[in-house]
């Protein structure tokens, strides 16, 4: 992380991110979660006397992640993906959304159908048609029982 004012660099160190206290909005109805960024003092022992802090709310983080995902340099995009891959619950939530994408997300439904169609054992799941990815009974039933059926399909393919 680099914090600059004009030509003067206030801080150059790895960013340390941690949850910050939620902030109550002016209407007193909403608490906005926040993240605090500070310089990691283990990087550079000569830190400023007053620690530099940057606080981001959910909208700031969304903008930051969106920028990173659309960044022209692949390493920036992979940093976001790695953070998701390293957090199983987040990956699960995204995976489930893809399998059960609402009609309002036709592009996601198309991508999931195309990707699942690349796995020959997936087509063998009883009651599942790859074109039915989304909110259908067949898809829901197939997803609910998929792991055991996948294993059986894989074993069948291996014996051939």
Q: What is the pLDDT of residues 99-158, one digit of tens each?
A: 888 889 989 988 887 887 776 665 555 555 555 554 444 444 444 445 555 545 544 544
Tell me the CA distances in angstroms from 3 to 14, 21, 42, 71, 129, one per residue in order. 11, 22, 17, 20, 52
Q: Cα angle vertex 116, ends 111, 67, to 5°?
A: 35
Q: Is residue 133 one of the residues assigned to a domain?
A: yes
Q: Is residue 143 one of the residues assigned to a domain?
A: yes
Q: Is residue 151 one of the residues assigned to a domain?
A: yes
Structure tokens at 104: 């309002």
Count of H-run helices and E-run strands, the chain: 6, 5
Q: Is residue 39 one of the residues assigned to a domain?
A: no
Q: Is residue 104 one of the residues assigned to a domain?
A: yes
Q: How many domains is the chain built from? A: 1
User: Considering Cα of 111, then 116, then 120, then 125, what sign does the dihedral take?
Assistant: negative
- Neighbouring C-beta atoms of residue 92, cutoff 10 Å: 10
Query: pLDDT for 66-96, tens place per residue?
Result: 999 999 999 999 999 999 999 989 988 998 8
Q: Could you tell me if 67 and 56 are in contact, meaning their C-beta atoms sit under 8 angstroms apart?
A: no
Domain residues for the domain of 156 are 100-160
Q: Is residue 71 one of the residues assigned to a domain?
A: no
Q: Is residue 88 one of the residues assigned to a domain?
A: no
Q: Is residue 119 one of the residues assigned to a domain?
A: yes
Q: Could you tell me if 150 and 121 are in contact, meaning their C-beta atoms sit under 8 angstroms apart?
A: yes
> How far from each other are the two terminal CA atoms of the chain, in whole angstroms?
55
- Per mean pLDDT, which range of 3-12, 37-46, 105-114 is the poorest? 37-46
């Amino acid at each position: 992380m680099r914090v600059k004012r004009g030509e003067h660099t206030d801080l150059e160190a790895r960013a340390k991110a941690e949850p910050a206290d939620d902030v109550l909005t002016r209407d007193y109805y909403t608490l906005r979660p926040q993240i605090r960024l500070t310089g990691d003092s283990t990087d550079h022992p000569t830190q400023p006397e007053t620690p530099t802090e940057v606080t981001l709310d959910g909208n700031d983080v969304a903008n930051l992640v969106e920028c990173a995902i659309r960044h022209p340099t692949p390493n920036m995009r992979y940093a976001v993906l790695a953070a998701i891959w390293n957090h199983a619950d987040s990956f699960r939530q995204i995976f489930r959304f893809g399998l059960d994408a609402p009609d309002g997300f036709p592009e996601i439904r198309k991508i999931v159908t195309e990707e699942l169609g690349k796995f020959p054992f997936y087509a063998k799941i009883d009651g599942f048609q790859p074109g039915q990815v989304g909110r259908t009974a067949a898809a829901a039933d197939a997803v609910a029982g998929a792991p055991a059926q996948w294993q059986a399909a894989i074993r069948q393919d291996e014996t051939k």
